[in-house]
Amino acid sequence: MFAIFVALIGTACGSDSGASGGESEVPRVVASDRIYTVEDFRGVLGVKVVKDYDIDELPGALEAWNAIYNQLDYEVRFYPTHAAAVAEGTLYADSVTGEDAVVTGDVLWEEGRKDRRKCSRAAQTPHSSCSYSARYLEYVIRGNMILFCEGDESPDAFTNCENMLGLIAEPA
């Protein structure tokens, strides 16, 4: 079990970066001792923390919230430590992000699943012909936090994550 944990940490904290291709490389996982809380988001002008999720079925999590900034949705999950966020949260984060995200049917964590998907339909199709896709194409792990970010493409989502993180002041 310990070997699996060490391998997971090594993989997640290694050279994992977000955007691919010629886009700017944004690291998905940044180790830090910083302990983030929902108050870091509530104190930022323009950020609305709108929903507190029930985390009983989310392994290792202390809290999970939905927030809105610049008309974009974000989900933020807090864990006791950075190591816990990586070990307990990566599988769940990977499952609901990206092009192959599981946002309907057999999802790993039911709470908030409707918030993690968006309706995508071809132009000039009726409202009832909805194909669900992931709202959050990417996520980043900073310290004890996993931040899920909306975007039309992966680089956009990483940029939105970095913009949100840039609003959170470092402690003095």
Q: What is the mean pLDDT of residues 146-152?
A: 95
Contact yes or no for 147/47 (Cβ under 8 A): no
Name the most confidently modeled range: 9-18, 19-28, 65-74, 105-114: 65-74
Q: List the domain range (segments joined by +) for residue 147.
A: 2-121+130-167
Q: Identify whether 81 is part of a domain.
A: yes
Domains in the chain, number: 1
Q: How is 49-98 classified by DSSP, letter by letter?
A: EEEEPP-TTSTT-SEEEEEEETTEEEEEEE-SSHHHHHHHHHHHHHHTSS
Q: Identify whether 172 is part of a domain.
A: no
As a whole number, the mean pLDDT across the chain is: 84
pLDDT greater than 50 at residue 6: no
* pLDDT tens track for 84-120: 999 999 999 999 998 888 888 889 999 999 999 888 7
Q: Identify whether 49 is part of a domain.
A: yes
Rounded to 10°, the helix 82-95/2-13 angle is 80
Q: Identify whether 77 is part of a domain.
A: yes
Burial category of 137 from C-beta neighbours within 10 Å (exposed 0-12, middle 13-18, buried 19 and up): buried
User: For residue 22, what pLDDT is reported?
Assistant: 40
Q: Which two tokens stand for residue 132?
A: 């669900």
Q: Identify whether 136 is part of a domain.
A: yes
pLDDT greater than 70 at residue 16: no
* Global pTM value: 0.81
